[in-house]
Amino acid sequence: MLDARKGRILATIIQEYIYSAEPVASEAVLRRAGLGVSSATIRHEMAVLEEMGFLAQPHTSAGRVPTDRAYRFYVDSLLDEERLTAEERQRLRRQIHSLAEEAERLIQGAARALAEEVHYPSVVSTVRPQEQVFRHLHFIPRDARRVQGLIVTDTGVFEGQPVELPEPVAPDTLDRLARWISGGLEGLTLAEITRERLEAVVGEAAYSHRLFEYLRRWIERELRRAAAGRIVVEGTSHLLAQPEFRHLEIISPVLSTLDRADALAELLRPLPGRTAWVTIGSEFPSAAMHECSLVAASYSVGGRTMGTLAILGPRRMPYERALPVVRFLAQNLSEALTHLSA
């Protein structure tokens, strides 16, 4: 634990470094901390903070920069989160709820709104898609043999790719098939709909072997596509504006991670018992991410966690702004998805 003065000095250094990206000298702390002590006292306290592992002195600079330990202490113990104004809350809510037509548009829109708001890359994932609950299957005839399918789960609607049937099928027959299949699968999670269960249900419903094979393959493919989940990344170019990422050897592995759905899914895995969290620098398992911080919050449908909304930026991130924005957008994404699945 730090005493009040050391905490004030550390918070001042972190806030200065967040906005300047330059090592912070004692003179700047003296001007901004408002402690009413001498510059010698400030220098002494900074030296103690360095010995405690909260500050580092790059090269021969007279200034200090925060360490990962300092950022962690700041986020956990010193952070004074900004309050979003009524206008900001209304604007962000409007951006999310105006897209409440289908789950995919909502997720994409939430990622875009977050990236535009904080000017860092945003990532939204559905990290537990196998727990989505099947509700209905609908077939929409496009012509005598071409059919469009919709799979409805408790988190939204997934539009299947059109299928060309081997023979013309009347719309009322398609409707009966959809109702029969829905009755056999309703209430199961997507993980529980195995090939054997699907064959049994579709086989009972399909009136010919050829139609059965087409429907079974189509439903199996589309269920697998729905259960695969999504990782949406927006605003990657914002990283290029940060001085930490102007060197190719630093930004290249970060960009590579943003391109890998498996790596992102692991980074965004919700933490048990936490609705919002921050991962800082060396806390990432991969050294490629040690210049980064992640601010994340989970979103849910019907009280069940369904995914994560997050921003990725430098360790030198304005956490006091990032955390409330991420948390607020995650809450609104939860509301919109819950309304959509009702």
Q: What would the 3-class secondary structure string for 87-132 be?
A: HHHHHHHHHHHCCCCCHHHHHHHHHHHHHHHHCCCEEEECCCHHHC
- Identity of the amino acid at 205: A
113 plus 61 within the same structural domain: no
**Number of compact structural domains in the chain:** 3
209 plus 109 within the same structural domain: no
Q: What is the pLDDT of residue 34?
A: 87
The number of C-alpha atoms within 13 Å of 239 and in the hemisphere containing its C-beta is 29
Determine the Cα–Cα distance for residues 144 and 180; give it in Å rounded to an integer: 21
Determine the Cα–Cα distance for residues 167 and 151; give it in Å rounded to an integer: 22
Q: What is the pLDDT of residue 302?
A: 77
93 plus 40 within the same structural domain: no
243 plus 106 within the same structural domain: yes
Whichever domain contains 191, its CATH number is: 3.30.390.10
Determine the Cα–Cα distance for residues 53 and 339; give it in Å rounded to an integer: 48
256 plus 328 within the same structural domain: yes
Distance, CA of 176 to chain centre: 39
183 plus 101 within the same structural domain: no
Q: What is the pLDDT of residue 76?
A: 95
Beta-bridge partner residues of 138: 150
Whichever domain contains 73, its CATH number is: 1.10.10.10
237 plus 307 within the same structural domain: yes
β-pairing verdict for 55-56 and 304-314: unpaired
Determine the Cα–Cα distance for residues 68 and 45; give it in Å rounded to an integer: 19
171 plus 239 within the same structural domain: no
Determine the Cα–Cα distance for residues 274 and 326; give it in Å rounded to an integer: 14
Straight-line distance from the first to the last Cα atom of the chain, in angstroms, rounded to the nearest whole number:
48
304 plus 242 within the same structural domain: yes
Q: Kindly write down the DSSP assignment for every residue of 138-169, as one continuous string.
A: EEEESSSSEEEEEEEETTEEEEPPPEE-SS--
Whichever domain contains 101, its CATH number is: 3.30.450.40
Cα dihedral 178, 181, 183, 186 in deg (nearest 10) = -100
pLDDT in tens, the chain (342 residues): 799 999 999 999 999 999 999 999 999 999 998 898 999 999 999 999 999 999 999 877 678 999 999 999 999 999 999 999 999 999 999 888 877 666 778 888 899 999 999 999 999 987 555 667 888 888 888 887 788 878 887 766 777 777 777 778 788 888 888 888 888 889 888 778 877 887 787 776 665 555 666 667 777 777 666 655 678 999 999 999 999 998 889 999 999 999 988 788 888 887 777 899 999 999 999 999 999 999 999 998 877 788 899 999 999 999 999 999 999 999 999 988 888 766
265 plus 316 within the same structural domain: yes
Residue 336 sits at the vertex; the CA angle it makes with 272 and 222, to the nearest 5 degrees, is: 80
Within a 10 A sphere around the Cβ of 118, how many other Cβ atoms?
21
Q: Can you give the residue range of the structural domain that contains 145?
A: 132-227
Identify the domain boundary among 193, 227, 261.
Answer: 227
Phi, psi of 228 (to 5 degrees): -70, -20
Tokens, residue 127: 């990290």
Q: What is the pLDDT of residue 255?
A: 93
Identify the domain boundary among 39, 54, 78.
Answer: 78
Determine the Cα–Cα distance for residues 187 and 251; give it in Å rounded to an integer: 45
Identify the domain boundary among 227, 250, 265.
Answer: 227
CB 74 within 8 A of CB 11: yes
The number of C-alpha atoms within 13 Å of 331 and in the hemisphere containing its C-beta is 10
202 plus 240 within the same structural domain: no
Tokens, residue 136: 């209905």
Determine the Cα–Cα distance for residues 156 and 152; give it in Å rounded to an integer: 6
269 plus 325 within the same structural domain: yes
